[in-house]
Amino acid sequence: MATTVMIVDDSLFMRKMLRDILTEEGYEITAEASDGDEAVARYRECRPDLVTLDIVMPNKTGIEALQIIMALNPQARVVMCSAIGQESMTEAAAKAGAKAFILKPFNPELVARTLREVAEG
Amino acid sequence: MDMSQYKSLFLSESREYLKTIADQVVALEQAPAERSAVDALFRGAHSLKGMAASMEYGDVVVVAHSMEDLMARVRDGALCFEAGVADLLLEGVDLIDVMLADVEADRECTPPPGDFAERLRGYTPAPPKKQAPAGEPPAEHPAPQAQPGGEPEKAKEPAGEASGTVRVKTELLDHLINLTGELVTNKHRLLNVAQEVASPALNDAVSETGKLLRALHDEVMKVRLMPFEAICDRFQRSVRSLAKKSGKEINFELSGREIGMDRGMLEQLVDPLNHILRNAVDHGMEESAERAAQGKPPRGTVKLSVSRDRDRISIQVSDDGRGMEPQKMIEAAVAKGVITPEEGALLSPRQALMLSCIPGFSTAKVVTDISGRGVGMDAVNAAIQKLGGTLVIESEPGQGSTFTLRLPMTIAIIHALVVQCGNVKGAVPVTGVLRTVELARHQIETMGKRQMFQLDGEAIPLLSLNRVLGLPLGRFPNGILPLFVTEAKGRRVGIVVDRFLGQHELFVKPFGRPLCKMAGLAGGATLGDGEIVTILDLAGLL
Q: Which tens digits make up the pLDDT trace of B18-40?
A: 998 998 888 888 887 788 888 88
- Of the partner residues A12, A58, A83, the one whose CB lies closest to the CB of residue B50: A83
CA distance A12 to A56: 14
Angle at the Cα of A6 (from A44 to A39), degrees rounded to 5?
Answer: 50
B69/B198 same-domain check: no
- We report the CATH number of the domain holding residue B438 as 2.40.50.180
Instruction: Using a pLDDT cut of 90, give the percent of chain A over it.
Output: 71
Angle at the Cα of B24 (from B18 to B25), degrees rounded to 5?
Answer: 90
Nearest residue in chain A measured CA to CA from B61: A105
Give backbone dihedrals phi and psi of B254, rounded to 5 degrees, phi first.
-125, 130
* Cα end-to-end span (Å), chain B: 64
How many domains is chain B built from?
A: 4
B221/B249 same-domain check: no
Nearest residue in chain B measured CA to CA from A34: B160
B486/B503 same-domain check: yes
Specify whether the CB–CB gap between A36 and A62 falls below 8 A.
yes
pLDDT at residue B266, rounded to an integer: 85
- We report the CATH number of the domain holding residue B89 as 1.20.120.160
Residue B348 scores a pLDDT above 90: no
B73/B221 same-domain check: no
B378/B506 same-domain check: no
Mean pLDDT of B235-255: 86
| Cβ-based contacts of A12 with chain B (< 8 Å) | 9, 13, 158, 160-161
B211/B265 same-domain check: no
Q: Does B539 touch chain A (CB under 8 A)?
A: no
Q: How many helices (H) and strands (E) does chain B have?
A: 17, 18
Is B514 a domain residue?
Answer: yes
B245/B313 same-domain check: yes
Mean pLDDT of B294-313: 87
Q: Tell me the residues of chain B between 17 and 56 that have a Cβ less than 8 Å away from chain A.
A: 39-40, 42-43, 46-47, 49-51, 53-54, 56
Q: Does B525 touch chain A (CB under 8 A)?
A: no
pLDDT at residue B383, rounded to an integer: 83
Domain ranges of chain A: 27-48+59-73
Q: Which of B181, B207, B226 is the last residue of a domain?
A: B226
B240/B221 same-domain check: no
> Who has greater pLDDT, A50 or B196?
A50
Residue B372 scores a pLDDT above 70: no
Q: Does A23 touch chain B (CB under 8 A)?
A: no
Of the listed ranges A35-44, A84-93, B309-318, the least confidently predicted one is A84-93
B197/B267 same-domain check: no
Angle at the Cα of B201 (from B196 to B206), degrees rounded to 5?
Answer: 70
Residue A72 scores a pLDDT above 80: yes
Sign of CA dihedral B193, B197, B198, B202: negative
B361/B244 same-domain check: yes
Interface touch B53/A105, C-beta < 8 Å: yes
B390/B300 same-domain check: yes
Side by side, the strands of the sheet bearing B413-421 are B499-507, B413-421, B424-429, B532-536, B521-526
B221/B240 same-domain check: no
- Residue pLDDT, tens place only, B229-243: 888 878 888 888 888
Residue B136 scores a pLDDT above 80: no
- We report the CATH number of the domain holding residue B309 as 3.30.565.10
CA–CA min distance B258, chain A (Å): 22
pLDDT at residue B310, rounded to an integer: 66
**SS3 of chain B: helix, strand, coil, percent, to 5:** 45, 20, 30
Residue B366 scores a pLDDT above 60: no
Is B245 a domain residue?
Answer: yes
Is B149 a domain residue?
Answer: no
Host domain of residue B232: 228-408
Neighbour count for residue A74 (Cβ, 10 Å): 8
- Residue pLDDT, tens place only, B85-107: 888 898 899 899 989 998 888 88
CA distance B337 to B477: 39
Is B450 a domain residue?
Answer: yes
Is B431 a domain residue?
Answer: yes
Of the listed ranges A24-38, A65-79, B525-539, the least confidently predicted one is B525-539
Is B272 a domain residue?
Answer: yes
Taking all residues of chain A, what is their mean pLDDT, rounded to a whole number?
A: 90
